[in-house]
Structure 1
């Protein structure tokens, strides 16, 4: 049996933490909506490319929180608002991009590698411009950390890593589920109709994010 003190975090907090983050990740939010839209419109590979970008963005906020860098968002609210509205504007730009034609699967197939790279970067950027992710780590991690157990940094990184694992699992399920019905969607929605659905969905995600990150 591994000694209690050998664990990077208190073993007693692992199950409650995993349950808490699973419930949070299963709550509908902007990431869930955007990943579903991408997977519906472009299929499984595109969805997983987007998941990879989302995960990198979340990991960046997790590391910033673990090293105490995100405290500035709480100390200086204007920075929080600046990042928040930059994220909303970025999503609206993605909606305009989709309406112009970048959301057309036929166009995407002409250069799949470039498309996947673009979706990765969009997922990463969208999460880097979501200050709610930083607040999530600042608010949640300390409640499951035990100062007398060991290094606070090691505990923060361990719990943050567990959260990323849960987030990847949930996001992957969203991609797989949406990709399964994408064939039926693409069969009935082509060209301008598909672009309209994609653009309208991203606008809804942008409004969702604006509401979720309000002060």
Structure 2
């Protein structure tokens, strides 16, 4: 496989992966509609940072432990499941106060950055996926560390574009979705989805 073939094939596969509905999409959409686009973008930056952390672990061989060590996978998956449950209960129990003003303090934005990072790093499926997926697109004779970071960077760029698309789309219906009654239902639906993701993660092997 040539360099061009590798990049084109990977970009297509990563694009399909990015737009497939999942935990990241649910988190960004819910945050954008209920708490504002800035917090949603901080969550997206956190998710992207988590991708780079996993990329570094794959590049230097640390993520391979998840593929060969059942204990390492079990510990990380249960930590991830507990974290998702915490996020879900936070959404279900916290009173809804939709943020109509985008000029909020950066400290609260930082919380969503951290949540984005933890949601990605505590998901062992991401690590196992990177370990098995990225090496397939590294051309023979090329530096695997450099190419791993290149491929992760492409994934992050695609993820950022998709996140911006979701955030901008939510702005068009923000006047409806930020009504307290609608926001409460969004919290319930998203919280339920997170509990489902947590159960699926806990049941994974």
TM over 0.5: yes
Aligned to 2:178: 186
Question: Is structure 2 residue 43 aligned with structure 1 residue 54?
Answer: no
1:81-160 map, 5 Å:
81-101=74-94, 103-105=96-98, 112-148=105-141, 150-160=142-152
Once the two structures are TM-superposed, the CA of residue 59 in structure 1 deviates from its matched residue by 1.1
- The answer (yes or no) to whether the contact 2:66–2:72 under 8 Å persists in 1 is yes
Aligned to 1:207: 196
Residue of structure 2 aligned with 1:22, choices 15, 18, 28? 15
**CA distance 1:121–1:18, change in 2 (3 Å):** same
**CA distance 1:109–1:152, change in 2 (3 Å):** closer
- The answer (yes or no) to whether the contact 1:84–1:130 under 8 Å persists in 2 is yes
Look up the SS of the partner of 1:69 in the other structure: coil
Query: Greater Rg, structure 1 or structure 2?
Result: 1
Unaligned runs of 5+ in 1: 1-8
Once the two structures are TM-superposed, the CA of residue 208 in structure 1 deviates from its matched residue by 2.5
Unaligned runs of 5+ in 2: none
**CA distance 1:152–1:183, change in 2 (3 Å):** same
- The answer (yes or no) to whether the contact 2:28–2:44 under 8 Å persists in 1 is yes
Q: Deviations over 1:126-151 (max 9, x none)?
A: 11111111112111111111232x21
Distance 1:103 1:95 in 2: 14
Once the two structures are TM-superposed, the CA of residue 110 in structure 1 deviates from its matched residue by 9.8
Distance 2:5 2:41 in 1: 33
**With structure 2 as the length reference, what TM-score do the two structures score?**
0.87
**CA distance 1:85–1:49, change in 2 (3 Å):** same
- The answer (yes or no) to whether the contact 1:97–1:103 under 8 Å persists in 2 is no
- The answer (yes or no) to whether the contact 1:88–1:209 under 8 Å persists in 2 is yes
Once the two structures are TM-superposed, the CA of residue 194 in structure 1 deviates from its matched residue by 3.1
Question: Aligned pairs, how many?
Answer: 203
Distance 1:82 1:25 in 2: 26
**CA distance 1:117–1:127, change in 2 (3 Å):** same
Q: What is the RMSD of the two structures over their aligned residues, measured on CA atoms?
A: 2.4
Look up the SS of the partner of 2:173 in the other structure: helix
**With structure 1 as the length reference, what TM-score do the two structures score?**
0.84
